[in-house]
Copies of this chain bind each other. A is one copy, B any other.
Amino acid sequence: MIPHDLCTDIPVLGKANIVSPIKRVTRSTQRRQSFISDDSRIIVDVQTEYIQDAVDTCQALLSFEQAGPREKIYFDPSKLKCAIVTCGGLCPGLNDIIRAVVLELYHIYHVKTIYGIRHGLQGFIPDYGHDILDLTPETVAGIQDRGGTILGSSRGSQDIGVVVDCLERMSIGILFMVGGDGTLMASKKIAEEIEKRNLKISVVGIPKTIDNDIFLVSRSFGFDSAVDVATLAIKGAHNESEAYPNGIGLIKLMGRHSGFLAATAALAQQDANFVLIPEVDIDLYGDNGFLQALENRVKTRNHAVVIVAEGAGQNFFEKKEKKYDPSGNIVLQDIGLFLKDKITEWFKSKNMDVSLKYIDPAYIIRSLAANANDSVFCGLLGRDAVHAGMAGKTKLLISYWNNHYVHVPMEASAGRQKRLDPNGRLWQSVLEATGQDVYFGG
């Protein structure tokens, strides 16, 4: 259930008075207007039970504003300057997003000045001395076929005031920020500082997470591509494990706080026998522990494939002082190498020869180009980000929810996280596909 306080309205910089330059052809078959009205809203929870409850108790239905082109816009395209920045870890589709934003601004809204900020938030800070890219249709031609981001990225927070100083100096009207939860937090603060200074700068966030764990975002770009590449690693681990007596393939996949990638990849390439995710705690030792279960499996079937999400099993580690990375994320203990050691120790103590292969494909997965499906998705996200910004909306994310593109207030999502429901269909299907419960004792 989605908390009730989340569906605040999307803030606007002012009244949208300018007629959109979008020309909608009206041929015989196309009588209806195709702009989206601000009144068009998408319900958050599609269970009729929830709706009935709300109706019965006279509560408002939670809903999101639908994304898309508005008939009236706030900014004058002939004078507008825009900037786009990509932050945090790489993710397939970043270049697709950049390209879509640029092409939509340039060709559809006729905005000619678009800056690419280099290396994430660092690009706003004079001390780093990063240059600015001028983005045009030529600059972005063909970039969607490459992974990474042509703008570069960086981790870590920067002084919000200095960022807004830069935006002021450059006379930016719309800032497109592509990044994960940390970036969205920063976006929110930047938008607040802009408001405090009474500036007319729209901040539009496009949520990025290869973990697919951003709150109120049902699907994040790049995730599908990540699953595609992850299947190669699973295939490989499976072939290795089958080839050698008592073969064990161990794959670590991304997922700091959520098991979406591990679970989905396990369904895409159904060779895994165990999937370990952050949302489901298990024991390492004991009759009911993972190592015993793995031994049971290897003894029964002579081989095993294990997928572990990077955030799984943090309970295995002894309490130490927590460490933080430059982006303020907790530095997780490396569960992959940890399990590798523990599995080796376990079977050594049992005098069983095993052939353990460990695969960590993270940097290959996150740095390759988007697949066809993500390319379509990124194109639509990027175009909707432009529509939102041009309409003078701010402090919002472009999200995908119940099959529609919507505007989510930054306040509703930033700082919260989406989790895989251990009782939901995804995880239950993983349990059915792996059959892993069979091997746990007790």
A244 near B119 with CB under 8 A, answer: yes
List A63-110 residues whose CB lies under 8 Å from chain B: 63, 66, 68-69, 90, 103-104, 107-108
Cα(A104)–Cα(B425), bound, Å: 14
Contacting residue for A423 out of B30, B55, B267, CB 8 A: B30
Contacting residue for A107 out of B42, B107, B235, B435, CB 8 A: B435
Q: A49-B41, A244-B119, A379-B270 are in contact. Are A142 and B146 (CB under 8 A)?
A: yes
Secondary structure dominating the interface of A? mixed
B437 near A25 with CB under 8 A, answer: yes
B61 near A51 with CB under 8 A, answer: yes
Contacting residue for A242 out of B43, B66, B152, B401, CB 8 A: B152
Residues of chain B contacted by A61 (CB below 8 angstroms): 48, 51
Q: With an 8 A cutoff between CB atoms, is A243 at the interface?
A: yes
With CB as the reference atom, state the residue of chain B lying closest to A440.
B25
A245 near B375 with CB under 8 A, answer: no
Q: With an 8 A cutoff between CB atoms, is A424 at the interface?
A: yes
Residues of chain B contacted by A114 (CB below 8 angstroms): none
Map CB proximity to B onto A133-157 as digits: 1 under 8 Å, 0 otherwise: 0000000001011111100111000
Residues of chain B contacted by A34 (CB below 8 angstroms): 423-424, 428
Q: A239-B148, A375-B269, A376-B264 are in contact. Are A280 and B245 (CB under 8 A)?
A: no
Cα(A437)–Cα(B25), bound, Å: 8
Q: Which of A165-173, A316-324, A357-365 contacts B (4 or more CB under 8 A)?
A: A357-365
Residues of chain B contacted by A108 (CB below 8 angstroms): 432
Q: With an 8 A cutoff between CB atoms, is A27 at the interface?
A: yes
Cα(A248)–Cα(B107), bound, Å: 23
B152 near A376 with CB under 8 A, answer: no
B119 near A228 with CB under 8 A, answer: no
Q: Which of A198-206, A327-335, A338-346, A402-410 contacts B (4 or more CB under 8 A)?
A: A402-410
With CB as the reference atom, state the residue of chain B lying closest to A424.
B34
Q: With an 8 A cutoff between CB atoms, is A193 at the interface?
A: no
B47 near A267 with CB under 8 A, answer: no
Q: With an 8 A cutoff between CB atoms, is A350 at the interface?
A: no
Contacting residue for A236 out of B227, B230, B363, CB 8 A: B363
Cα(A68)–Cα(B428), bound, Å: 10
B39 near A49 with CB under 8 A, answer: yes
With CB as the reference atom, state the residue of chain B lying closest to A250.
B363
Q: With an 8 A cutoff between CB atoms, is A292 at the interface?
A: no
Q: With an 8 A cutoff between CB atoms, is A441 at the interface?
A: no
With CB as the reference atom, state the residue of chain B lying closest to A39.
B49
A41 near B33 with CB under 8 A, answer: no
Q: With an 8 A cutoff between CB atoms, is A367 at the interface?
A: yes
Residues of chain B contacted by A368 (CB below 8 angstroms): 232, 235-236, 239
Residues of chain B contacted by A242 (CB below 8 angstroms): 148, 152
Cα(A393)–Cα(B144), bound, Å: 41
Q: With an 8 A cutoff between CB atoms, is A40 at the interface?
A: yes
Q: With an 8 A cutoff between CB atoms, is A349 at the interface?
A: no
B51 near A371 with CB under 8 A, answer: no
Contacting residue for A373 out of B63, B66, B228, CB 8 A: B228
Residues of chain B contacted by A379 (CB below 8 angstroms): 267, 270, 429, 433
Residues of chain B contacted by A48 (CB below 8 angstroms): 41-43, 61, 63
Q: With an 8 A cutoff between CB atoms, is A20 at the interface?
A: no
With CB as the reference atom, state the residue of chain B lying closest to A30.
B422
Given contacts A128-B245, A232-B364, A240-B367, 11 further A-B contacts (CB under 8 A): A34-B424, A103-B432, A130-B245, A145-B145, A146-B239, A153-B244, A235-B367, A235-B368, A264-B376, A358-B363, A371-B371
A-B contact pairs, 8 of them (CB 8 A): A46-B46, A51-B61, A55-B55, A148-B238, A224-B373, A227-B373, A243-B367, A403-B403
